[in-house]
């Protein structure tokens, strides 16, 4: 599989085989690190990490993943550069492309990460935008593979804000890889119809099913229940409204019981607001798998950099 020179902006751009390849490479790099073996595939490569929004996991995963493979990461926070304020995105992209070998971007608009890729001429990786969070999905799916030994045919239920970056990216990834995907949310927070239609196309090819429902009964049979914060970064002013809308969709022990399955796991991309989208009790019950998932951010992000930029 050759993904050299490719950007990673949304999972829409990657075939199921390519996504599976990235998951396999992640597992391989994880095993190597556990055995004390680090690579050198990013030796001599300089990587820019642009963050318009804050981050713990994504920033650390790109930093450690890069250094583990012999590369040099450079953090560029929102007050460090003039991206889109004093300098156009196109110009910053062209400058960074002359100095760096790869660029990570976390921020607001998907359009920004797309422009960076278009004008920099080097691989650009999406570390989260308002629309998508594709590297998170790789970590989520690696974790599910570790738990169940497969992805195809699993039932994944996402409950909460059904039109945010996580819901969108989970829907794309699940339907591409044959996971039956349910969004459980009030109608006011259902995903955009155009994206649902695109994903229905993927589902037809992979043999999976999409369900969008506002009824808690839709959780029945879930192998994994997933949630995310009720208010994404940049939407903090909507907190009171969101709590009202989403209170019935909290992941608590009653909701987990409705799966009617003993082996259901709970996933969360983190950070979590306990008491809102998930109770402390459920969070702690599944803490091991949640923190495997957080660790897997590093192995999967490393795999994306190695596959698209490394000498591997
Ligand atoms: N899950 C995730 O992206 O975490 P950070 O916001 O800490 O990067
Ligand atoms: N939907 C969340 C994801 C955080 C990883 C946000 O955008 O803030």
CA-proximal residue: ligand 1, atom 6 (nearest): 55
d(CA 20, CA 151): 10
Query: DSSP class of residue 192?
Result: P
d(CA 250, CA 253): 10
Residue 268 designated active-site = no
Query: What are the phi and psi torsion angles at 276 (to 5°)?
Result: -95, -95
- Whether the per-residue pLDDT at 84 is higher than 90: the answer is no
User: Do you find a cis peptide bond into 271, omega within 30 degrees of 0?
Assistant: yes
136-293, CATH topology level:
Rossmann fold (3.40.50)
- Whether the per-residue pLDDT at 299 is higher than 90: the answer is yes
What is the value of pTM for the model shown?
0.98
- Whether the per-residue pLDDT at 312 is higher than 90: the answer is no
Residue 210, SS3 per DSSP: strand
Residue 136 designated active-site = yes
How do residues 141-193 score in pLDDT, each as one tens digit? 999 999 999 999 999 999 999 999 999 999 999 999 999 999 999 999 999 99
Mean local confidence (pLDDT), 136-140: 99
Query: DSSP class of residue 188?
Result: G
Q: Which ligand is nearest to the CA of 58?
A: 1
Query: DSSP class of residue 87?
Result: B
How do residues 212-235 score in pLDDT, each as one tens digit? 999 999 999 999 999 999 999 999
Q: How confident is the model at residue 304 (pLDDT cuts 50, 70, 90)?
A: very high
d(CA 132, CA 110): 8
Dist. CA 127 → ligand 1 center (Å): 9
Say how many CA atoms lie within 13 Å of 96 toward its Cβ: 32
Dist. CA 148 → ligand 1 center (Å): 24
| 8 A C-beta contact, residue 179 and residue 11 | no
- Whether the per-residue pLDDT at 85 is higher than 90: the answer is no
What's the pLDDT at 206?
A: 98
What per-residue string of b and e applies to 21-60 under the rule 16 or more CB within 10 Å gives b?
bbbebbbebbeebeeeeebebbeebbbbbbbbbebebbbe
Dist. CA 271 → ligand 1 center (Å): 6
Evaluate: CB of 81 within 6 angstroms of ligand 1.
no
What's the pLDDT at 214?
A: 98
Evaluate: CB of 58 within 6 angstroms of ligand 1.
yes
Every domain of the chain with CATH number 3.40.50.1370 lies at 11-133+297-309, 136-293
Dist. CA 56 → ligand 2 center (Å): 12
User: From 3.30.505.50, 3.30.70.260, 3.30.413.10, 3.40.50.1370, which CATH number describes the 11-133+297-309 domain?
Assistant: 3.40.50.1370
Q: Kindly state the percentage of the chain with pLDDT values over 90.
A: 98
Residues in Cβ contact with 235 at an 8 Å cutoff, skipping those fewer than 6 apart: 242
| 8 A C-beta contact, residue 135 and residue 8 | yes
What's the pLDDT at 63?
A: 98
Helix (H) or strand (E) holding 166: helix 165-177
Residue 94 designated active-site = no
């Amino acid at each position: 599989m050759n993904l050299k020179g490719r950007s990673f902006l949304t999972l829409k751009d990657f075939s199921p085989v390519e996504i599976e390849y990235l998951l396999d490479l992640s597992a391989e790099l994880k095993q190597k690190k556990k055995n004390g073996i680090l690579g050198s595939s990013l030796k001599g490569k300089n990587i820019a990490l642009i963050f318009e929004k804050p981050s713990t996991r994504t920033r650390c995963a790109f930093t450690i993943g890069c250094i583990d493979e012999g590369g040099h990461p450079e953090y560029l926070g929102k007050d460090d550069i003039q991206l889109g304020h004093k300098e156009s995105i196109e110009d910053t992209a062209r400058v960074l492309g002359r100095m760096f070998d790869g660029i990570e971007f976390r921020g607001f608009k998907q359009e920004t990460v797309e422009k960076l890729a278009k004008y920099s001429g080097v691989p650009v990786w999406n570390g989260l935008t308002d629309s998508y969070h594709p590297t998170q999905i790789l970590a989520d799916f690696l974790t599910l593979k570790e738990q169940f030994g497969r992805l195809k045919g699993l039932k994944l239920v996402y409950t909460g804000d059904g039109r945010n970056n996580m819901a969108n990216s989970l829907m794309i990834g699940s339907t591409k890889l044959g996971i039956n995907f349910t969004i459980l949310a009030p109608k006011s927070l259902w995903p955009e119809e155009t994206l649902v239609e695109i994903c229905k196309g993927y589902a037809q090819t992979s043999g999976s099913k999409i369900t969008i429902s506002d009824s808690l009964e839709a959780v029945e049979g879930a192998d994994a229940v997933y949630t995310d914060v009720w208010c994404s970064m940049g939407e903090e002013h909507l907190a009171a409204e969101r709590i009202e809308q989403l209170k019935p969709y909290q992941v608590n022990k009653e909701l987990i019981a409705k799966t009617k399955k003993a082996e259901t796991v709970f996933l969360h991309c983190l950070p979590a607001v306990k008491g809102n989208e998930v109770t402390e009790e459920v969070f702690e019950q599944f803490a091991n798998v949640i923190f495997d998932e957080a660790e897997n951010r590093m192995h999967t992000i490393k795999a994306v950099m190695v596959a698209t930029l490394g000498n591997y």
